[in-house]
């Protein structure tokens, strides 16, 4: 498969001089794949030099090979997967909006259900997931997979709210760590794991909260860290300097670790999520509506992505 590369130069918009160190002016946006309905959950697998992502309404996962450029279906039906990440053993961890569960793909390809209920009730529809260095799995649980049949299966909400959870995969212990957000969505730790950032897509304005992470994994704080007047924050990632690269409507916004918006990348389609990848972790892969794009940057993402 080959896809048209946008003829317009990549539009890096510098709002603060510090952003100029983050990219080369010759860098161009590439469209790697298209023909999807709503791309989400990009994850880069270094050992295979492959990107996986979800095409949620089509209930499938696709893959793109960095060596050949070949695009293929990876899993169908996918259970309406959304977000993915890798655990410390390189196994794929996936949020299934249809199955209302978090699953792990073992190295032999079999699926293990990690969690599906909290206090005897089904989860809403796990959306995005990240693994901490201690192996704990943190995920968000808004209702987007159960409100209608578009991104999942219409069904009643059983949980009293939409929470952020922490799962201990060895014991199965599942704990609510945030219960003060409307629709928690994308999430990421700062490189030193001192902070956890969580986006909320359930308010009138796109907001991202910042929680302080204690040594035992307890969260405190949770103030609104940044907000967006041009769309919602959905998925996002940090680079090694602690900058936050986030979806923000039809753009990617880059914030310094202190929250300052320093630059934007304008995109041809509305962005849902992104991930750093490539052998050096300096290639940004972007899920945007019908397509997957990439651009090579002058920064490196936190690994594992």
The binding site for Mg ion (CB under 5 A) comprises 127-128, 185, 234-235
**Best CA proximity match to 128, nearest among 201, 69, 210:** 201
- Lateral strand order in the sheet of 71-75: 39-45, 50-55, 60-65, 71-75
Give me 128's structure tokens: 């995005």
Strand, coil or helix: 247: strand
CB of 242 to Mg ion, least distance (A): 22
Task: For residues 5 and 20, give the distance between their C-alpha atoms in angstroms, rounded to a whole number.
Answer: 24
Q: How far apart are CA 178 and CA 181, in angstroms?
A: 7
CB nearer Mg ion, residue 60 or residue 183: 183
Residue by residue, DSSP assigns 267-278 as -SS-EEEEEEES
Q: Which two tokens stand for residue 176?
A: 């609510």
By C-beta, is 235 or 278 nearer to Mg ion?
A: 235
Task: Return the number of the residue (10 or 272) whose C-beta is nearest Mg ion.
Answer: 272
State the nearest-atom distance from the C-beta of 40 to Mg ion, in Å.
Answer: 6
CB of 186 to Mg ion, least distance (A): 5
Pick the closer one to Mg ion by CB: 64 or 144: 144
C-beta closer to Mg ion: residue 128 or 239: 128
Minimal distance, residue 3 CB to Mg ion, in Å: 24
| Sign of torsion over alpha carbons 155, 160, 162, 168 | negative
What is the closest distance, in whole angstroms, from the C-beta atom of residue 41 to Mg ion in the complex? 7
Report how far apart, in Å, the C-alpha atoms of 105 and of each of 12, 65, 102, 111, 275 are: 37, 19, 10, 5, 19
Residues facing residue 92 across a β-bridge: 86, 105
- At 47 the three-state DSSP class reads helix
Nearer to Mg ion, 22 or 83 (CB): 83
Question: What minimum distance in Å lies between the beta carbon of 95 and Mg ion?
Answer: 9
């Amino acid at each position: 498969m080959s896809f048209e590369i946008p003829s317009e130069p990549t539009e890096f918009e510098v709002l603060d001089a510090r952003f100029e160190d983050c990219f080369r002016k010759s860098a161009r946006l590439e469209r790697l794949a298209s023909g999807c309905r709503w791309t989400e959950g990009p994850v880069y697998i270094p050992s295979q030099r492959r990107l996986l992502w979800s095409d949620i309404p089509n209930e499938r996962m696709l893959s793109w090979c960095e060596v050949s450029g070949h695009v293929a279906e990876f899993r169908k039906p996918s259970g309406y997967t959304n977000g993915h990440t890798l655990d410390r053993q390189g196994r794929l961890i996936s949020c299934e909006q249809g199955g209302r569960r978090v699953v792990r793909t073992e190295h032999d390809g079999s699926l293990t259900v990690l969690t599906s209920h909290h206090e005897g009730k089904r989860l809403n529809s796990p959306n995005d997931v990240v693994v901490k260095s201690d192996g704990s799995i943190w995920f968000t649980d808004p209702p987007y997979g159960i409100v209608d049949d578009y991104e999942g299966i219409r069904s009643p909400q059983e949980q009293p709210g939409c929470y952020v959870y922490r799962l201990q995969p060895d014991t199965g212990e599942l704990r609510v760590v945030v219960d003060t957000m409307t629709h928690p969505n994308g999430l990421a730790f700062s490189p030193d794991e001192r902070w956890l950032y969580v986006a909320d897509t359930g308010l009138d304005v796109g907001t991202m909260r910042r929680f302080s992470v204690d040594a035992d994994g307890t969260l405190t704080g949770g103030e609104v860290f940044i907000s967006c007047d041009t769309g919602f924050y959905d998925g996002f990632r940090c680079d090694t300097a602690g900058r936050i690269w986030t979806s923000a409507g039809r753009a990617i916004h880059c914030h310094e670790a202190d929250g300052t918006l320093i630059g934007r990348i304008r995109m041809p389609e509305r962005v849902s999520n992104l991930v750093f990848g490539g052998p050096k972790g300096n290639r940004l892969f972007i899920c945007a509506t019908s397509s997957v794009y990439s651009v090579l940057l002058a920064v490196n993402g936190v690994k594992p992505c």
